[in-house]
Structure 1
Amino acid sequence: MKPYATKKLMITVGAAALLFSSPLWVTQPQVTVQAAAATSTQAQLSQAVQKTIDKLNKHYPELKNAEKAISRNNQMRDVIHIQFRIFSNKERTKVSLYADARIDVNSGALLSFSARDIPGKKPTARPTEAMGKEKAQSILKDFIGDAIKQYRIEEVTVNGEGTEAVANVRFVRVVNQIPVKEDGYVVAINGAGKMDYINAGDATGLQMDTSKFAAPSGVKQPDEISKHLEDMMHLSYEQKAKDISAGFRPVYSPVFTGYLDARSGAEIESGWTTKNKYGKPITVTAGNQRVFAKTNEEIATALSTFTPVPEGTVFKMTKGGLALEGEKEYDAKVGNKRFLVTTTNDQITYFHVMESLPREKRLTEAAAEEKAMAFLQPYLDAEVKELIPQMINKEEGMQSFLFFPVYQGIMVEGQVYSVKVDMHTGDIVSARFPVANANLSYDDASNVVGPEQAVQALLKANPLTLSYVFPSPNGRYQATPVLVYEQKERGGKVDAVTGQSIK
């Protein structure tokens, strides 16, 4: 790829992440289709997808002659990913055309397109905001027709240097004068007035019929809905300051998906929203063991306390004097295994064993949690009597757990233990321990305010607003939107002693 194309790709990904904060799309194995086999390409694509490709060809005719690598993903919605390539040498090592697109299989909605490296006239001038705004509206209308009336321009910026710059035009969807979450576009126009890239929100194009959007009449008022938040307020201890010696204070924070049905008050799952789900407190017997290593040579012996280390493994220090004073990092590689170790004041506080082998899941989550607890107890600080578990980060063949200590019946954040279990073998492949400190101070929590007062303080600082969302209760989007209340800004905390919002 040419140097400028690499830079353009960075701008594309950056804009998408900045404006929509969407995760990278995971694709299935690709099926490559040669340009000469046009009929087989047509057979693999739905009519809706082909219509969108025809519109892309209108803007960039060069795409018609490109080879197409096609993959399909149906994680949140059914999407086709197409990579367009033209190779300029027999060895197929040089690419003269490089572009890609993501298109909804059912509706044909263009979810993303990047003209990373397409030959032809290159920009000779920097785009202006006015030109970008005009061209973006015209191009977007080509793809969505009269539905563009449902979108309004929220922001226009010019990013990049000289002729490499693009005008980013952000469109947001509004129905019944209420915003639709994760439904919008960012259209980037280069100095030649051409579409450089387009990125859509995760829910864009799921439902374009505005009659399917319930009118806001008859919804509950925010103060009625706020009562549903009282059961979702989570009381925990958090650090008062970056320096842990400042101690911990009790705080309330909302633990929910972020969306409440505007009529019923029920939680609504939508898109990639996550909710912390904690287990019941577990009584533990702390072993209060510490494992230390001062030199490269001592790391292997010390690490073998936690996990098997092949004899003769040699560790090297990769970093010293990191963000935390006294922290050091070491690593070693033996065969297909790599070992990472972090020490803090010579105490091992983290290790990770990486092995690139596909693993078939054999353990249940309950069995994995038991193994994590059995591993962890010898290394718990003496003051720890109870732990609250949280299952997180599901990976292929792996399962991670967080364990929070409990003080005076309240969960303590900032002193968390983490353990990752291989779901095939039951081995512990990673663990992190808080820096041992027996002199931590905790504010008295015997006179904390109630959840009702906490909710009032929280919403006074961060009020509820109406939005439409597309539910995804089973990990896939539904095309029927729901009118919800959400906080104007996500999150927020309340000091549980004073009852005041924390900024």
Structure 2
Amino acid sequence: MKRFSKIAVSAATLAVLSTGYPVPSGPVHAAPGQVPGPAAAPDSVTTPDTVAPAGQTGTPPVASAVPPTVPPTKAPTPPPNAISEKEAVAKVRALFDGLGEFPYVTAYYLPGDPRAGIFMGSRPTWDLTFFATDPSKFQGPPSEPPDTLNARVDAITGAILDFSRMNPAWTGDRQPDNQLALQAATAFLQKVGSPFRDQGLERIGGGGITQTATPGTKTLQWRFAVVTFSEKVHGIPFPQNSLDIRVDQFGHVIGMQIMHPFDSSKLPDPSGAISSDEAQKLLAAQLQLEKMYLTTPFHLDSSGQLQKGDRPVLGYFPMRQGSIDAFSGKPFTGGLSIPPNMEMNKTLSIIGQGQALQAKDKDTAARLVADFLHMDLSGMTFEEQTPPPDTLSGYHPRVLTWSLRPPASSPAAQGSTIAPAEQPSHINAVFDADTGQWLDLNVDTQMLRGKPAVLSMEQGEAKALSFLQQILPKGSQTVQLVWEMDGSKPLPSPPDWFDPAKDPNFMPEPLPVYTYIFRPLVQGVPILDRIYNVQVDATTGRIVGFTLPPASSPALPDNRDTITPEQAKTAFLQAQPIRLVYTWPAFGNQAAPQGQLVYEFDPNHPIQYIDAFTGKLAFFGGR
């Protein structure tokens, strides 16, 4: 069985702009190393679960709360102060009233790795999987993903750190009602007990998981709400210490994860912080809005369901919302440094040639991919999957994957992947299942790691523009180069307190791949949700990855008689609250010596955009 999953955070704080990486609309400290930007449709609600092999270029699917257990080759012995396997199993059964439906259990003791630092892998744990039938008698692949419960128990304290259950009888494609989810999560929190002295509701997000049995075509889909309770210190939220509870549309609690990596007793006392009025002025100075089109507007209704707008909009979108140190008032970045030349915002003119990249069947698609990459795919293992259609746009992806597998005589373990040094281990191509349009290419580029770049960034840009010229509609086109990123350089630069000697593998060798992100311009205004992401191999100049928007695009309103940027900013500041929040900067598996208190625009009351014609505000929550 193969499991592909995507666990989502609040739609209020995270969006994915088809750039291949998440873009937070909130403060930089929310996710060090991510690029601040506007929020388009929340990936957690609108995008089908990602299907991609591990090690891909770009952003792989986020791991589920309890990843499949890989038993050690030689079982380690728990220390004398560890709880026994029997005690760990009893802890989980007691939480679920005995788990009589799961009489069988497998258990592995994992001693933990101190090198994991602030991550959960540093703790010794019991990894448990509960089964309805004897797992030793399984024969061949299942016809559908079985009903199991995975749990992880702290081997020293006996605390249940996380669990996940995906019951095939609980599938569905509807997002749970927020109030139902909150009631179920609150009741479960009282049952399991909070790890914090004080906590409060941080947010209610959403997500989904898709499981496909192999062989066969049966695919199961779950939707769930993610209710997050964060620790409170001096009455102030500390979201990095939190507890996530997942609730499905029927009210079942299907997952939990406790994140408690930081000692909150070491956080600074809030006395001496600047006033909220002063903080709002400083945050206002950092705020940047940009006038943009959104072809597919949306909002979330009171029950958490995605509602699509009826027409494209022209609005002012928050492009950058910083945060400030609550004591000094200075901009807060968590010690990270992002090169200023990444953000380009350069306008370019292109004469499109209208070349179609289309394939409506897998054989045609295979020829198209092979010709495009100048590669022979015949020696690779082929797999095709068709996830459910996108909730917002109706786009129906067909995902084609070519992977290199070891030959039968290879001493490598079954199922492992071996790739020649000069050939990618996998190629991922996504087509529109209805129109055949090729929308995404993702080629493994790890064989390039450590090689020097031959092309300059400017030469790579020319290669990316040449590719765009081929595929853009015929005639004169204007695009905006939004970002360019050099994979051969670390991004972002590590903070001063990061010690690379403690984690030598965290900063990998340079990867000579250039990434260019473009948006089309209409009447001089960029379109937020139409992104062209092009990746160029800096050693050869070949295109090794792209993300393209669907060919069709609705008519857009005229960019005339709109409010001014100043009026939009005033409207934003009048409606957007700020909050005090604790944060502890982290980079890799290491944490800063001290946590900090910051002011930020409250990400749980987010403004999506200000209508450029009326000045009215559009909220993610559809108020």
Place the TM-score, normalised by the shorter chain, in its bin: 0.5 to 0.7
- The residue correspondences of 1:16-415 to structure 2 (distance < 5 A) are 24=63, 32=72, 34=74, 38=77, 41-42=78-79, 59=91, 67-70=108-111, 72=113, 74=116, 77=119, 79-80=121-122, 82-84=125-127, 101=152, 112-114=161-163, 135-137=191-193, 148-151=196-199, 172-185=230-243, 199-201=257-259, 204-209=260-265, 212-222=267-277, 224-239=279-294, 241=296, 249-256=314-321, 259-269=323-333, 279-282=343-346, 284-292=348-356, 293=358, 296=361, 306-308=372-374, 310=376, 329=398, 331=400, 333=402, 338=427, 340=429, 342=431, 348-352=437-441, 354=443, 359-362=448-451, 367=456, 370-371=459-460, 373-377=462-466, 378-379=469-470, 380-381=472-473, 382-390=475-483, 400-407=515-522, 410-415=525-530
In 2, distance between residues paired with 1:171 and 1:320? Answer: 31
Q: CA deviation digits over 1:216-273, x for unaligned, max 9?
A: 554232465244334431313213556999665242314235x33334444435799x
- Shift of the 320–346 alpha-carbon distance from structure 1 to 2, 3 Å rule, reads farther
- Shift of the 270–169 alpha-carbon distance from structure 1 to 2, 3 Å rule, reads same
Question: Which 10-residue stretch deviates more, 482-491 or 242-251?
Answer: 242-251
1:417 CA drift (Å): 1.0
In 2, distance between residues paired with 1:348 and 1:133? Answer: 46
Answering whether residue 521 of structure 2 is matched by residue 428 of structure 1, we say no
In 2, distance between residues paired with 1:58 and 1:482? Answer: 40
Match of 1:455 among 547, 569, 575: 569
1:463 CA drift (Å): 1.3
Higher relative contact order by CA 8 Å / sep ≥ 6: 1 or 2? 2
The alignment partner of 1:229 has SS state of: helix
- Shift of the 109–454 alpha-carbon distance from structure 1 to 2, 3 Å rule, reads farther
The alignment partner of 2:350 has SS state of: coil
Contact 2:460 2:514 in 1 (8 A): no
Q: CA deviation digits over 1:257-306, x for unaligned, max 9?
A: 5x33334444435799x999962234545241222357657656655674
1:206 CA drift (Å): 0.8
In 2, distance between residues paired with 1:406 and 1:355? Answer: 31
Contact 1:33 1:67 in 2 (8 A): no
TM-score, L = length of structure 2:
0.52
In 2, distance between residues paired with 1:52 and 1:477? Answer: 31
1:32 CA drift (Å): 2.8
- Shift of the 437–129 alpha-carbon distance from structure 1 to 2, 3 Å rule, reads closer
Q: CA deviation digits over 1:174-198, x for unaligned, max 9?
A: 222222223233589xxxxxx9985
In 2, distance between residues paired with 1:69 and 1:438? Answer: 52
**Alignment match, 1:159:** none
In 1, distance between residues paired with 2:62 and 2:202? Answer: 22
- Shift of the 129–343 alpha-carbon distance from structure 1 to 2, 3 Å rule, reads closer
Contact 2:455 2:540 in 1 (8 A): no
TM-score, L = length of structure 1:
0.62
Q: CA deviation digits over 1:133-181, x for unaligned, max 9?
A: 66533xx5xxx6xxx43346899xxxxxxxxxxxx99754222222222
Contact 1:404 1:411 in 2 (8 A): yes
The alignment partner of 2:110 has SS state of: strand
The alignment partner of 1:384 has SS state of: strand
Structure 1 residues not aligned, in runs of 5+:
2-8, 117-127, 156-167, 189-194
In 1, distance between residues paired with 2:486 and 2:160? Answer: 26
**Structure (1/2) with the larger helix percentage:** 1
In 2, distance between residues paired with 1:351 and 1:169? Answer: 32
**Alignment match, 1:165:** none
Q: Give the aligned CA root-mean-square deviation in angstroms.
A: 6.3
In 2, distance between residues paired with 1:70 and 1:501? Answer: 52
